[in-house]
Amino acid sequence: AQSVTQPDIHITVSEGASLELRCNYSYGATPYLFWYVQSPGQGLQLLLKYFSGDTLVQGIKGFEAEFKRSQSSFNLRKPSVHWSDAAEYFCAVDDGGSNYKLTFGKGTLLTVNP
């Protein structure tokens, strides 16, 4: 079975600083990869996804992620963090072949200092 690891439970950055959230997956084939954000009291919102093609994908709110097959990673980045980015971020992978069943990491909580 596949798995998703987000090594950082909690990250704190200053507003305006750059951000990188790590995600590693365990899966035999090329997975479908996703990043979701969950703000307090809100449902999950899709930031971006990777299915195939260009390994650098752009998402909403200025986020991007890079798929690196050799490292089994799909790290999320943002060049300059805004206070409104404070939230919990989840990496997810498609359950190979099901085309609907997502396996999520345990999440990274982002705190943004003024």
Where does this chain bind other proteins (CB under 8 A)? 32, 34, 36, 41-46, 49, 51, 90, 92, 94-95, 98-107
SS3 113: strand
Least distance to other proteins, CB of residue 113, Å: 24
Total Cβ atoms within 10 A of residue 91: 28
**Cβ atoms of 57 and 64 closer than 8 Å:** yes
**Cβ atoms of 101 and 94 closer than 8 Å:** yes
- Taking the least distance from each CB to other proteins, the nearer of 3 and 113 is 3
Least distance to other proteins, CB of residue 114, Å: 27
Least distance to other proteins, CB of residue 41, Å: 6
